[in-house]
Amino acid sequence: MEEFVTLTYNGQEIKLPVVIGTEGEKAIDISGLRQDTGFITLDPGYANTGSCLSAITYMDGEKGILRYRGIPVEQLAENATFKETAYLLINGKLPNRDQLTRFSVMLNDNSLVHEDLKAFYQNFPRASHPMGILSSMVNALRSFYPELGTTEEEINSTMTRLLAKVRTMAAMSYKISRGHRVVYPRPDMTYCENFLNMMFDTPVKPYEINRAAVNALRVFWILHADHEQNCSTSAVRVVGSARVNLYAAISSGIAALWGPLHGGANQAVIEMLTAIQANGGDYKKAIERAKDKNDPFRLMGFGHRVYKTYDPRAKIMKKMCDELLDSLQIDDPMLDLAKELEEAACNDAYFIDHNLYPNIDFYSGIVLRAVGIPTNMFTVMFAIGRLPGWIAQWKESMDDPKWKICRPRQVYTGNLQYDFIPIHARI
Ligand code: ACO
C-alpha cells in the first residue's frame, strides 16, 4: 500500500509519497513539491537529501554495514580479487569464469597508454601534486581516445580502458616524478602485482613480488571501491548529468577526492601523526586542540558523515595493518602512536558524544607506507580503488529512465534590486 507524509502550511495540506528502499530505508518524494506549493527544500551539505535511487552499494552508518551489490565488504575483502569486485560493482553480479577471463583480457589489452602522454607528465612542474596531475591526465584521455560510442560494447570498452589505464598512469607519474624509466604493465601479472611492479621495478633492482604487500593492496582497493553518494561520487554524477564524456566525469571525481576532508584525509593523517611525533608524541594535546571550537584543527581520520559507529572498513584496515607490519617485520612507531591516539579519543567524552570514530583513512596511510607508497601518492591509491565505484555510479545514472540534469536551487539572500551606479558616483 502506498504511504504518504502530509505537509501542512497555512491550512493547506499536501500529500507527499513515501519511497521505501529494499533495506527499509524511507524517503519523502518531494519531486512535485515546488510545482504544487512553490516551496523548495533547504539542506546544506545535502545531509538529508537522497539524490537518486541506487542498487549498487548499501551502507548503514548506525550499524556499521557496507555491502557492494548485496555482498558484505568483509566477505569481499576476505575472498575476492579487486578485479572481481570491480566487475561486480559495474555489472551487478560476480563474473563467472568466462566473464572474468574476458574482462582480464580486455584489461590487459588496454593497459598501455599512448606514448605521447609521457610528454604531458614531463611538462608539469616538479612540485605538482599527483592528484592534480591525475585529474588532468584522465581528462586528457578523451583527446587520445576520442571514440566513445553508445552501444553497450563501446561503453564497456571505454570503462575498461579507464580501469586499465589509470593504474598504469598512476605508476607512470611516480616513475617520471623520480626521473626514472617508465615500467610497462606485464600480461603475466595480476592487477595488483602489476601496479607494484610498475611502481618499484628498476633496471638495477628487479621488483620481487611480495605476497603480503600484494594482499594489502588488494584489500585496500576493495575497501575503497565504492561508498554510495559520497562527495566525489556525487561530483561524478552531477558532472556526468550534463552528459559530458566519462573521462571528464571521472576527472571531476578525482578533483573532489583530493580534498583533505575526503580522500585527501589519508595523507593528512600521516602528516598529523608526523607532526605529533615531531612535537614529542603528545597526542593528548592534539585531542584537546580538536575539541577546541576556537581552533580549526580536526583529528584527521576521525568522523564521518554517515558512520556514527566504527567504520567497518577501518576495522578491516586496522587488522590488516597489524598483519602486514608483522609479516614485513616492520616496527613502525607511527602505528603505536595511532593506536594510542585512537584509544584516547574513543574514550573521550567529546568524541563519544559526537559519535566520532576512526574512519578508513586513519590506518590506511600506515598500510600504504609499509607497502612503500610515497605519502603524496596516497590519495591517488584511493582514486584507483574508487574508480570501479565511480564508473558503476556513472553508468547507473546514464541508464536511469528518470535521468535529469542535476541542478539544485537556492534561497537567495543578496541585495534587492537597485540601479547601476556610474563609476564617478561610486564610493
Ligand atoms: N575532529 C574533531 N571534531 C570533529 C571531527 C574531527 N575529525 N569531525 C567532526 N567533528 C565535530 C565537529 O566539530 C562538529 O561539532 P559540533 O557539532 O560541536 O559543532 C560535529 O563533530 C559534526 O561535524 P560536521 O563537520 O558537521 O560533520 P560532517 O558530517 O559535516 O563532516 C567529516 C564529516 C568531513 C568527515 C568530518 O568528520 C571531518 O572533517 N573529519 C576529518 C577529516 C576526515 O577524516 N575525512 C575523511 C572522511 S572518510 C572519507 O572521505 C574517505
Is the distance from CB of 344 to CB of 287 less than 8 angstroms?
yes
User: Within 6 Å (CB) of ligand 1, which residues are found?
Assistant: 45, 261-263, 265, 290, 298-305, 354, 356, 359-361
Distance of CA 272 to the CA centre of its chain: 21
Residues of the chain with pLDDT under 70: none
Is 304 an active-site residue?
Answer: yes
Q: Provide the pLDDT for residue 102.
A: 95
> Does some domain include residue 363?
yes
Q: Provide the pLDDT for residue 148.
A: 81
Is 361 an active-site residue?
Answer: yes
Q: Provide the pLDDT for residue 120.
A: 86
Q: What's the angle, vertex CA 172, arms to CA 238 and CA 210, rounded to 5?
A: 105
Question: How far apart, in whole angstroms, are the C-alpha atoms of residue 49 and residue 27?
Answer: 9
Q: Provide the pLDDT for residue 93.
A: 97
Q: At 367, which CATH number?
A: 1.10.230.10
> Does some domain include residue 399?
no
Residue 89 sits in the same domain as residue 237: yes
Question: How far apart, in whole angstroms, are the C-alpha atoms of residue 170 and residue 369?
Answer: 16
Residue 210 sits in the same domain as residue 125: yes
Could you tell me the distance, in angstroms and rounded to a whole number, from the CA of residue 192 to the centre of ligand 1? Answer: 32
Could you tell me the distance, in angstroms and rounded to a whole number, from the CA of residue 12 to the centre of ligand 1? Answer: 39
Q: Provide the pLDDT for residue 152.
A: 85
Residue 180 sits in the same domain as residue 131: yes
Per residue, the 3-state secondary structure of 29-53, as one string, reads: CCCCHHHHHCCCCCCHHHCCCCCCC
Residue 160 sits in the same domain as residue 228: yes
Residue 159 sits in the same domain as residue 296: no
> Does some domain include residue 122?
yes
Q: Provide the pLDDT for residue 1.
A: 79
H-run or E-run covering 276: helix 265-278
Residue 253 sits in the same domain as residue 316: no
> Does some domain include residue 156?
yes
From 234, 258, 282, give the residue that closes a domain. 258
> Does some domain include residue 420?
no
Q: Provide the pLDDT for residue 248.
A: 96
H-run or E-run covering 341: helix 333-346
From 371, 394, 421, give the residue that closes a domain. 371
Atom of ligand 1 nearest to the CA of 45: 30
From 258, 290, 308, give the residue that closes a domain. 258
Is the distance from CB of 325 to CB of 212 less than 8 angstroms?
no
Ligand 1: residue whose CA is nearest its atom 11: 354
Residue 102 sits in the same domain as residue 238: yes
Q: Provide the pLDDT for residue 123.
A: 87
Q: How many separate domains does the chain show? A: 3
First to last CA, the chain: 64
Domain that holds residue 32: 4-50
Q: Provide the pLDDT for residue 100.
A: 97
> Does some domain include residue 76?
yes
Q: What is the three-class DSSP state of 196?
A: helix
Q: At 168, which CATH number?
A: 1.10.580.10
Residue 151 sits in the same domain as residue 230: yes
Residue 166 sits in the same domain as residue 185: yes
Q: At 45, which CATH number?
A: 2.20.28.60
Q: Provide the pLDDT for residue 79.
A: 98
Written as nine digits, the cell of 95 is 563474473
Name the phi and psi angles at 64, rounded to 5. Answer: 70, 45
